[in-house]
C-alpha cells in the first residue's frame, strides 16, 4: 500500500458494500470519520511561529534591514525557516553543489551525498579549492582524505553540528571517521544505488533504497532523499511521504494531548492538509513561498522548531526528550540574501530582485 493510501486511510475509514449485497447496480461507500488529534495550546503557537518565521524570511528577501522581528525568542535564538529549502545550508546545496556542478546524475548524486555527510559549506569549499570540480569521474576517497586529514590536524572542524553522523558501517575499518565516510561514498558510487533511486516509482521506495545504505538511519535517509529530490533527476512530490524525526516527535508531543486515530506520520499529513484553515481560524496572514504551500517536510521541520520555541514560551509543557533550553543563539547575517530554489518548482521568477 502506498504512503498516499495510508494518509487517505488516516483521514477516514470506508466500508464498501457491493451491488450484489444491496441489490442495486452501483457500489456505495460508508465513510466513518477518524478521531482527529486533540490540540494543546502549543498547537496555536505552532501556527503563529510559522507565520512570524516566514514573515522574517520575506522581510530579508525583500532587502529590509534588521532586526526583522520584535519576538524576543526569535531575536535571541536560532531557528530554521518555515520552508526547509529556504535554510542557509539548503540554499548553499541547491546553488553551489547541485546546480553549479556537472549535469549528469552520478556526479550529482556523489556531490550531494559528499556535501550532506559533512553538511558544512567551509568543508565543501576546501575540497573544491584543493581538488577542483568534484564529479563521479574525479571522485577519489584517497585525495579527499588527504585534504581532510590536513584540515583536521590544523584543528579545523569538518562536520556540521546540525546532526550527528554515525561513524559508518562496521565492515569498513578506517582510522578516522571521515575516512570511513569517504570509503562508504566510494562504495555507493560503484554500486547500484544511483540506478535504484532513479528507477524508484515513489518517494517511499527511494527512501527504502537510501535506508539500505549501512549507517543511514531513517532520519538521515529521509533528509538526504529530500536533498536529492532538489536535483533535476528526481521529481517526487514532497506531499507523498514523510518520516518524523526525533525533534518533530517532541513537537508533536507538545502540540497534542493525544493523536486520536492517527500516528505521528498521519498527524503531520493531517496538519499539512489543514494549513489554510488553521491560519484562517487564527486570522494569521501567512506568506507562502511565492504560492508554494507548506509541504510535509516543512510541517515536519516546524514541529521540530516549535519544540525548541516552546521550551521558552511554554516551559511547563514537556516533550519526549525533557530538554528545557535552546542551545543555539541567533547571530544575524547582514549579507545580501537572495533565495533561489529548484527551477522545477517554477517560483524563482516571482522572487524580487534586490
Output the pLDDT for position 328.
Answer: 77
Output the pLDDT for position 66.
Answer: 78
- What's the pLDDT tens digit per position in 81-121? 999 999 999 999 999 999 998 999 999 999 999 999 999 99
Q: Residue 179 pLDDT more than 90? A: yes
Output the pLDDT for position 29.
Answer: 62
- What's the pLDDT tens digit per position in 44-71? 999 999 999 999 999 999 888 878 999 9
Output the pLDDT for position 165.
Answer: 78
Taking residues 261-279, what's their average pLDDT? 98
Q: Residue 1 pLDDT more than 70? A: no
Taking residues 5-25, what's their average pLDDT? 45
Q: Residue 319 pLDDT more than 90? A: no
Of the two residues 270 and 9, the one the predictor is more confident about is 270
* DSSP-assigned letter for residue 266: H
Q: Residue 2 pLDDT more than 70? A: no
**Mean per-residue pLDDT of the chain:** 89
Q: Residue 166 pLDDT more than 60? A: yes
Q: How far apart are CA 236 and CA 272, in angstroms?
A: 17
Residue % of the chain over a pLDDT of 90 = 76
Distances (CA, A) of 64 to 52, 55, 56, 91, 287: 15, 11, 9, 19, 16
Q: Residue 251 pLDDT more than 50? A: yes
* DSSP-assigned letter for residue 330: P
Output the pLDDT for position 16.
Answer: 47
CA angle 293/295/298 to nearest 5° reads: 110
Of the two residues 162 and 278, the one the predictor is more confident about is 278
Taking residues 9-25, what's their average pLDDT? 46
Residue 12 confidence class, pLDDT cut points 50, 70, 90: very low
Q: Residue 8 pLDDT more than 50? A: no
Q: How far apart are CA 342 and CA 172, in angstroms?
A: 35
Residues 6+ away with beta carbon under 8 Å from 306: 42, 45, 46, 49, 251, 254, 255
Radius of gyration of the chain (CA): 22
* Residues in a beta bridge with 14: 31
Residue % of the chain over a pLDDT of 70 = 88
Amino acid at each position: 500500500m502506498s504512503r498516499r493510501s495510508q494518509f487517505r486511510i488516516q483521514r477516514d475509514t470506508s466500508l464498501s458494500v457491493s451491488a450484489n449485497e444491496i441489490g442495486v447496480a452501483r457500489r456505495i461507500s460508508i465513510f466513518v470519520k477518524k478521531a482527529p488529534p486533540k490540540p494543546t495550546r502549543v498547537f496555536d503557537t505552532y501556527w503563529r511561529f510559522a507565520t512570524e518565521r516566514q514573515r522574517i524570511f520575506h522581510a530579508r528577501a525583500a532587502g529590509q534591514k534588521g532586526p526583522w522581528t520584535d519576538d524576543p525568542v526569535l531575536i535571541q535564538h536560532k531557528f530554521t525557516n518555515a520552508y526547509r529549502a529556504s535554510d542557509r545550508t539548503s540554499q548553499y546545496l541547491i546553488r553551489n553543489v547541485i546546480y553549479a556542478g556537472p549535469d549528469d546524475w552520478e556526479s550529482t548524486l556523489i556531490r550531494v551525498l559528499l556535501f550532506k555527510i559533512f553538511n558544512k559549506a567551509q568543508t565543501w569549499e576546501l575540497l573544491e579549492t584543493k581538488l577542483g570540480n568534484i564529479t563521479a569521474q574525479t571522485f577519489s576517497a584517497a585525495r579527499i582524505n588527504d585534504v581532510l586529514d590536513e584540515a583536521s590536524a590544523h584543528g579545523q572542524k569538518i562536520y556540521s553540528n546540525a546532526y550527528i553522523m554515525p561513524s559508518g558501517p562496521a565492515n569498513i575499518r578506517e582510522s578516522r571517521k571521515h575516512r570511513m565516510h569517504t570509503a562508504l561514498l566510494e562504495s555507493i558510487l560503484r554500486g547500484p544505488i544511483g540506478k535504484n533511486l532513479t528507477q524508484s516509482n515513489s518517494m517511499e521506495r527511494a527512501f527504502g533504497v537510501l535506508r539500505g545504505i549501512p549507517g543511514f538511519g531513517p532520519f538521515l535517509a529521509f533528509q538526504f532523499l529530500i536533498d536529492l529530490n532538489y536535483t533535476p533527476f528526481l521529481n517526487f512530490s514532497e506531499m507523498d511521504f514523510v518520516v518524523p524525526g526525533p525533534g518533530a516527535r517532541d513537537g508533536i508531543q507538545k502540540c497534542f494531548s493525544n493523536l486520536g486515530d492517527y500516528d505521528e506520520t498521519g498527524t503531520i499529513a493531517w496538519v499539512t492538509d489543514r494549513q489554510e484553515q488553521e491560519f484562517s481560524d487564527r486570522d494569521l496572514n501567512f506568506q507562502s513561498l511565492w504560492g508554494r504551500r507548506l509541504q510535509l517536510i516543512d510541517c515536519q521541520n516546524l514541529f521540530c522548531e516549535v519544540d525548541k520555541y516552546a521550551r521558552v514560551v511554554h516551559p511547563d509543557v514537556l516533550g519526549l526528550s525533557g530538554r528545557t533550553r535552546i542551545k543555539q543563539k541567533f547571530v544575524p547575517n547582514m549579507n545580501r540574501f537572495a533565495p533561489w530554489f529548484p527551477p522545477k518548482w517554477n517560483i524563482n521568477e516571482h522572487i524580487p530582485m534586490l
